[in-house]
Amino acid sequence: MTRSSEFGATVNRGVRAVQPDIVVHALRCEGSDDGPRIGFIVSKSVGTAVQRHRVTRRLRHVARTVIDELDPGDRIVIRARPSARHAISARLEQELRAALRKTRQGSGK
């Protein structure tokens, strides 16, 4: 996901699930067959540029492990919280899976 409008729609109209290190926003777009789209928000509150990029790489790696479980019309935004800077990949994966379960329950899927 790269367009600001996609991020905005997902964050504003999607279902939110909060975890200790990440916040996940999920939105189902009907009629979209181009596969699930995932975007990341890692703000300056997470740390320096090097720390933010490290967190982004970890989140990207974790997202690859769950992308096959998503529906083609799913739009997911993963926002890193400052504590994500210290989280290991296994913990981030656990939190992402838990957050996705919560968003599915919240949207009636």
pLDDT of residue 55: 97
Q: Which residue has the higher pLDDT, 2 or 25?
A: 25
Q: In what order do the strands lie in the sheet with 22-28?
A: 15-18, 22-28, 74-80, 37-41
- Phi, psi dihedral angles at 25 (to 5 degrees): -110, 130
Domains of the chain: 4-104 (3.30.230.10)
pTM of the model: 0.90
pLDDT in tens, 81-99: 999 999 999 999 999 999 9
Q: Has residue 23 got a pLDDT over 80?
A: yes
Q: Has residue 6 got a pLDDT over 70?
A: yes
pLDDT of residue 34: 80
